[in-house]
Structure 1
């Protein structure tokens, strides 16, 4: 069964795949391109919000995720509401989000809106294709690390190596996959952090084949479009 972990990157999406005991990778511009290249892809974990707030639904899962991560809770951000995600510019997005949710959004949150919108559109029109689940790298690292949050920051060398060594303790062959990606794509297109995050999502997805799918979720678990709000790990 072919599965994948996916993270956003400057090029589009970096995808770590696993099939028949082997890891491979793709960098694609869009989810549609991924489907075209891998029509047999069964399930993906993706680091992007799925299920969005609106006039009559407020996404609250972020509070539970922050509790899960404790001192690393700053890695969890609250996404804009759906109408703001579809706004034409930052000022409009801020105004819409403030009207619906009572608060503005950061420029960082707005900058990822295009990716959130792409996945939201895919979920809403999906008639066939792979299973897709929202996931979060730091939650995945926690549960690969005996339920202990990794407190170092992956943006520095120590934090990166701590996480990468953990992944290699499960699958040493990921070292060669990482080298292949970094020699194929410049950092301006695919950053080391992006690769690391896609890898941990793939590993957690792969472990789900034997341990079963596990989720962080709360009572607000279905948005106005009927999309489930839960984070796989």
Structure 2
């Protein structure tokens, strides 16, 4: 089974994939391009909101994710509603979100709207045999770390190494893979943190091949497009 973990990066998306025996990587500008390169991909975890709020549905899963991470809950942000994600600019997105959800959106939320929109569109056109699940790196790291939240920030050297060592315990191949990636792409295209996060998603995805998938689910299971709102880890 070919699986992957995917995180956003300046170039587009950094993808760590695994077939029956080996890890590999791609950095692609779009998920469509990824599928052209790997049409046999069967399941991926991606760090992007899937299933969006609307007039008839309010996404509430972020509150559960924040409880999961406790003092590290600041790594969870609330995405804009679907109409705001498709807005022409930040000002329009803020006004739409106020109308639909009664609150504005942060510039962080707006800046990732282009990629949220890409995945929202992909979910309605993806191949039938492909499983796509929202995931979150810090949730994955928690459950790779015996259900203990990692308290350090990965933007620090200590936090980065703590997570990287944890990943290497899962599979020593990842050390060489990381070196290959940083030698292939400059930091302006793929940042070290992005690589780490994609690795965490891929490793978590891979571990579930034998034990089954684990999810944190929204109170309402689907949005108004029928897309399931749940985070895999």
TM-score relative to the length of structure 2: 0.99
- Structure 1 distance, partners of 2:195, 2:206, is 16
Structure 1 stretches of 5 or more lacking a match? Answer: none
Report the secondary structure of 2:220's partner residue: coil
Report the secondary structure of 1:220's partner residue: strand
Q: Could you tell me how far 1:198 is from its partner in structure 2?
A: 0.2
Superposition RMSD in Å: 0.7
User: C-alpha offsets along residues 10-42 of structure 1, whole Å, 9 cap, x if unaligned?
Assistant: 000000000121000000010100000000000
User: C-alpha offsets along residues 65-105 of structure 1, whole Å, 9 cap, x if unaligned?
Assistant: 00000000000000000000000000000000011001101
> Partner of 1:196 in structure 2?
196
Checking the alignment, whether the CA contact within 8 Å between 2:51 and 2:120 is kept in structure 1 is yes
Instruction: Evaluate the alpha carbon distance shift between residue 31 and residue 129 of structure 1 in structure 2; reply closer, same or farther with a 3 A threshold.
Output: farther
- Structure 2 distance, partners of 1:45, 1:79, is 18
Aligned runs of 1:25-36 on 2, under 5 Å?
Answer: 25-36=25-36
User: C-alpha offsets along residues 123-150 of structure 1, whole Å, 9 cap, x if unaligned?
Assistant: 0223435210000000000000000000
> Partner of 1:184 in structure 2?
184
Q: Are 2:81 and 1:81 equivalent residues in the alignment?
A: yes
Aligned runs of 1:10-89 on 2, under 5 Å?
Answer: 10-89=10-89
Poorly superposed stretches of 4+, deviation over 3 Å: none
Report the secondary structure of 1:44's partner residue: strand
- Structure 1 distance, partners of 2:185, 2:219, is 42
Report the secondary structure of 1:204's partner residue: helix
